[in-house]
Every structure is written in C-alpha cells, then in structure tokens.
Amino acid sequence: MINKANSRAICILGMHRSGTSAIARSINLLGVYLGESENLLSAQEDNPHGFWEHLNIIDIQNRILWELGVSWDTPVPLEELWWKKPEMIPFRNEIKQFINQQMISQNLWAWKDPRTCLLLPLWLDILQELDVEVNFVISIRNPLDIANSLLKRNNIPIQKSLGIWMNYMISVARWTADSKCILVSYDEFLDDWHHQLFNLSQQLNLPWPENELELKEKMQKFINPQFRHSYSSSDQLKETISLKPFVNLYDIYLKKINFQLDYTLPQIEEIASEYKTYAALFDIANLTKIELQQRVELIDTRHNIQHYLEELQEVQTQLKSQQNEQKKINTFLNNSLISGKDIEEKILNLENMISALREDQNNLQQILQSRGWNYLKKYYIYRDLLFSKLKKITKKHSSK
C-alpha cells in the first residue's frame, strides 16, 4: 500500500522558453523522478536536449485550457475561481488518477509544464487532498529574451509575448506567495550550473553525488552559455515596455532571487489588478486578421465538438440499450437451446419405445401365425370343451 505521507513533489514553474527544461533535467540527474522515458515529450528542433515534460500532463492541461476557451499563449488572466467550476471535476479526477497511478509511489517526483503556471490552484487543491508535500522551483529569465525566443519559434509579436509572460508570472507569484519557493536565474544557471545546482540541491534536500564526473559529463551536454541566443538587460526591457505592472513584477522577482525581499500576496494582488486593465488590449491589439479568424474558428470548433460529444453520448446510450436487448435475446436463445435439447432427448426416447413396441408386435404376430400357436389354440379349445362336458356329467350324477 502506498504511503502518501512519504511522497514529496517538486513543481518547476516558469514561462515558456525560460529554462525550465534545463532545471527539470538537472534535478532528474540528481535522482528526482519525472516519469518513464517513453512517457516524456521527445526532443524537438526548438529544444534538442529534451523538454522533460510528461505527455499525460501536457495533454490534460491543454484540454483544461481548451475547456476554458483559451490556449497556452493567452495574455488574459483566467476567470476567478475557474478551478471550482463543475466542468473541472473530470479533469480534477484525471489528475488525481495520474498522480496515484504513476507518480505517488515515488518518494520524490517532479513535474514541469509551463501551463502549470496558469493552472496552479487546481494542482494545489489536488496535492493537498492527496497529502503530498510540494516544493516550488521558479525559473526566472528576462521577459524580453523570452519574447525574442517566442518570436523566432512561434512568430508571436514581442508585445504579446510580454503579455503572456506577465499572465504566467502573476499567477505563479499569487499562488506561491505564502509558500517557500526557490528562484533560479536562467542566465546565472547557464553561466555557473555547478554552483546553482548545488545550492538548489541543498535547499531541496537532494543527494549530491560523491563522484561528480558523471554528473558533469551529462550536464555539459545540454548546459552551455552558447545555447543562449538572446541576452537582454533590465534597462533594455524597460525601454521596450515601461508599463508599471511589468516593471514592478520583474523587479520583485529579481529582488527575491538576490535575497533582498520576499514578495507578499497584497503586492501581487495590486500588480494583478493593474495588469487587468492592459490584459484585454494585449489579447486584441496583437491579433492579426488571420489570428482573429483562427480565434473565431476555434470557438466554432469547440461548439461543434461539444455538439458531436452530445450526439456521441446519445449514440452510446442507444448502443447500451441495444446491448442490453441483445443480452436478453442471447439469454432466451440459450434457454431455448437447453429446452430444445430436452425435447429432442424425449422424442428420441419415445421413438425408441415405439420401435421396441413395434418389434414386440412383430414378434407377437409371428407367434400367432406359427403352427405351434395353432396347435396350442386347438388345445385350449378342446380343453374348454372337455371341461364343459365334465361339468355336465358331474352335475347329472349329483342330482341322482
């Protein structure tokens, strides 16, 4: 039986293109379980050293966002208390089943998928219900470098990418404000992974190998400052976007990394409230005509899928009803088959009896037609006549 109380999870948070893959692989090399290799997203051109994300988690979280009417690249905050909606119950159960079946048996496991930043309150509810201790590791990278990377990979405009970053990182700060978090600078991790990873292992209470040679060989395959294609300063970020909420949020994260100040929930709520004023503008102003058409098509597609799902449910109900009727017919046929066998057996017995009677009849006819029977028949006739005469004589003598 699984002892849930001994299960500890590490949640790796951060915006897309912020270095979460490198952190996930690094702690994996220190013995943290991410899932079986065949269940992890394979390396691709934009991330040749692997994403280290569990395919089941990606699938579930994509479907949750779809149900909420958005995708991973939304700069608009999700509606309040979205995770309490009845529509979330199937996803909640699916995540619990995934954790129970694939992760919770491990004493120490982790997951990494940037979408978790948006969906964190649902995960926190579930982990609390399952009595799983969770530690947070947050990867911080200059939003301008993230935007440049997304422009290259996804052709997303710089301004919209900054809005996406803001949406992700406000959610992270809001839902981890009262928790112990470990912040890691992506740039510092690339420049000196050994120092950064050792500090991370100490804070997470992870075992550090006595012989570092193997760890160094594996780390050097995917950690290299040359892999960084964009390196911007805070001043360059402020020149690109000077809106107060962006500047304040990034400054808060930088101060926490440098152990100067912990952010508080009231601070984050104030920034979140200010950002809501701009969020809708980021969502609409950066949409091209093609993107607007795609958004309309996305809504239509969701409606069509819902319609098809309803039709499918009706067909499944009819099919179940037909299956029940078929079961009744099969039962009747089976019973009829048993009754038929009994009747056949009785008919066969009757036929055997008739055959035996006919044989007896034939034997009797043969006896009646035989000479012996004729003699016997005459004997009985003469015997009866003789007895009759004897009775008359006896009666006559008796009268004298």
Radius of gyration of the chain (CA): 44
Determine the pLDDT at residue 244: 79
**Spatial CA neighbour of 56 closest among 127, 124, 112, 119:** 112
Mean pLDDT of 108-127: 96
Tokens 């190998």, residue located: 209
Mean pLDDT of 285-292: 51
**Spatial CA neighbour of 142 closest among 254, 278, 25:** 254
Cβ contacts of residue 71 below 8 Å, gap of 6+?
62, 65, 298
SS3 30: coil
What is the distance between the alpha carbons of residues 228 and 187, in angstroms, rounded to a whole number?
Answer: 8
- The pLDDT confidence band at residue 189, using thresholds 50, 70 and 90, is very high
- The 8 Å CB, 24+ separation contacts for 317-322 are none
- The pLDDT confidence band at residue 397, using thresholds 50, 70 and 90, is low
Which one is predicted more confidently, 116 or 337?
Answer: 116
pLDDT 10s digits, 330-341: 777 677 665 666
What is the distance between the alpha carbons of residues 74 and 76, in angstroms, rounded to a whole number?
Answer: 5
Cβ 30 vs Cβ 207: under 8 Å: yes
Task: Record the tokens describing residue 9, joined without a space.
Answer: 């999870």
DSSP β-bridge partners for residue 109: 9, 33
What is the distance between the alpha carbons of residues 394 and 381, in angstroms, rounded to a whole number?
Answer: 20
Cα 30 off chain centre by: 28
Determine the pLDDT at residue 180: 82
For the four alpha carbons of 322, 323, 328 and 331, in that order, the dihedral sign comes to positive
What is the distance between the alpha carbons of residues 248 and 268, in angstroms, rounded to a whole number?
Answer: 9
Burial status of residue 307 (CB atoms within 10 A of its CB: 0-12, 13-18, 19 or more): exposed
Crossing angle of helices 158-176 and 244-257, in 10° steps, is 50
What is the distance between the alpha carbons of residues 245 and 232, in angstroms, rounded to a whole number?
Answer: 19
Crossing angle of helices 143-154 and 158-176, in 10° steps, is 130
For 71, phi then psi, to 5°, come to -130, -175
pLDDT above 60 for 102: yes
pLDDT above 60 for 74: yes
Q: What is the pTM of this model?
A: 0.69
pLDDT above 50 for 242: yes
What is the distance between the alpha carbons of residues 53 and 204, in angstroms, rounded to a whole number?
Answer: 20
Q: In this prediction, what percent of the chain has a pLDDT beyond 90?
A: 41
User: Considering only 246-250, 268-272, 395-399, which range has the smallest mean pLDDT?
Assistant: 395-399
- The 8 Å CB, 24+ separation contacts for 128-131 are 129/96, 130/4, 130/7, 130/96, 130/99, 130/100, 130/104, 131/4, 131/5
- The pLDDT confidence band at residue 159, using thresholds 50, 70 and 90, is confident
- The pLDDT confidence band at residue 378, using thresholds 50, 70 and 90, is low
pLDDT 10s digits, 83-98: 999 999 999 999 999 9
Determine the pLDDT at residue 194: 93
**Spatial CA neighbour of 114 closest among 96, 141, 144, 91:** 141
Burial status of residue 306 (CB atoms within 10 A of its CB: 0-12, 13-18, 19 or more): exposed
The maximal CA–CA distance of the chain, rounded, in angstroms, is 168
Strands (E), 217-293: none
